[in-house]
Amino acid sequence: MPCFHPVGRPCIRISLFTRNFHFPNLRLVHRLDQYECRRQALFTLARVANMGATTSSPNISNAPKEAEPSAPVKDTVTSTAETPGNVENQPKGTATSTTESPKRVEKQPNKKRKVVATNRPVYGKSRLAHLGENSPSSAVSEESSAQEKGPRLPKRKVALLMGFCGTGYQGMQVNPGSKTIEGELFQALIKAGAVSQDNADDHKKVSLVRAARTDKGVHAAGQVVSLKMIIDIPDIVAKINQALPEQIRVWGYTRTVNSFNAKNLCDSRIYEYLLPTHVFLPPRPKPDVVSEHSAAQPLRSTPEEMAKRRAYRITPDVLNKVQQVLKLYEGTGNFHNYTIGKQFTDASATRRIFSFTSSEPKELQGTEWLSLKVHGQSFMMHQIRKMVGLMVLVVRSDLPQELIRKAMKADKINIPKAPGLGLLLEQVVYQAYNRKYGQENRGSISFTPYQTEIDAFKEKYIYSKLVEQELADDEFDAWLLFIEAHPEYFTSLISGDAPPEENQIVEANETSVAEVDGSSQTVDEKSTV
């Protein structure tokens, strides 16, 4: 039989051990608040106390007052109707408890509401409001601090085009405690206002990423850095350059898509290697004193000998041979012999060279130089320096040009690497990105508009520093003297015999050249250069 709750809601009636228990519908229970639950319980107790009385309407306060004589209920009346009021106006047999209990029930929820209201937070829903974080005083302090910092300017993703002379710096990438190119650049961006003070404590907040990693002393004429910076500042490039030292320059910037990454979207890289032409002089006869030197002892030519070597000028035939040998590197090949730690079976040893050319000779401070430019998809450690080193040996020693391709086969060959002094990053290329986004308003990433400035910068800060260091240390001459003094390390180039241990060759060659210039060599041609 259906049952109705005292407050007018249906409930479930369950018979258990001959006793009847009324349970409210569970769905309705979840919808009742605390006040309704308490009121419901009190009405239920009232009904239990007056089981003999006639069932009244749920709204007891509005029900008609009818007295029904019921003598046995007298005990329950005296026990439940304790509140004075209209009891004396009622007949003795009336169930006064059913009229008085609702009045007590209506007062109880009001008291509870007052208690709950006093415990509610004043500001917002969070309990932290009681601690004053959302208080009016804190809001005023935030507004004042915001006024001191000024209006927030939007950041935009850009490709920042720059160049630098790496002399005196410990490489491009940020290194705590070291003087680096990125460290100087980031501080200049802060001073110019391109990076806000909120992001001044960490370059990762502006997503600063370099296109190519360069190590100690390596130069770059066309480097790209991607970051989010403020560009709504008049003459922002000029302000950045004012905060930078003269040997670091920003050429300009290009607005890019938000997903642009200077390293991941770089298609290829162009490196330049500046080489003195006197390295193509024929090998000198091995003197007796040379045989007494160990691999760890650097060899030096006398000032008179060096003056004669610097007076050498390359002939057209030798220059033509240089260009022919460099062209043999073009294409896809296995360069496991042109790096360290790679085997012929390693897939990562396969690289693609788009072009390798030589410029016409030019004279700088009394010495003739060649500018070699190699354009490749990516490079491994020491790859460019070993490519230049083998080319020099083939030309000056009149070795067969087939050695270039032979070194790309499975046989292990030791190749001396040329000094790292002449290496510099010419520029990074974004051909695929420019083809996809170059026609849009963002523009292409190219160094062509700044080529005049770049050439002037290279002449003043890169070439001059490089030539001065070579004149002072004679690194290229020391490198050739080492090869001439210890041909046993490189006999496998001609005879095909088993070469000595690779680590021994690298260690000896590094020691000979490093002691000349007084510094460790750079780790240059990596995929992440």
Quote the radius of gyration of the chain (alpha carbons, Å).
Answer: 44
Question: Among the options 75, 198, 215, 267, which is catalytic?
Answer: 215
**Residue showing tokens 């849009």:** 440
d(CA 320, CA 305): 26
DSSP for 79-127, written as a single string: HH--S-SSGGGS-TTS-THHHHHHHHHHHHHHHHHHHHHHHS-SSSSSG
d(CA 422, CA 385): 9
Residues in contact with 153: Cβ distance below 8 Å, sequence separation at least 6, in sequence order: 196, 230, 232, 233
Q: How many CB atoms lie within 10 A of CB 497?
A: 10
Contact yes or no for 370/512 (Cβ under 8 A) = no
**Residue showing tokens 């500018």:** 371
d(CA 129, CA 72): 59
Buried b / exposed e along 422-437 (16+ C-beta atoms within 10 A):
bbbbbbbbbeebbeeb
Is 524 designated active site?
Answer: no
Contact yes or no for 460/246 (Cβ under 8 A) = no
35 is in an annotated binding site: no
Buried b / exposed e along 280-292 (16+ C-beta atoms within 10 A):
beeeeeeeeeeee
Residues marked as binding for substrate? Answer: 271
Q: Catalytic residues, which ones?
A: 215
Q: Which residues are annotated as a binding site?
A: 271
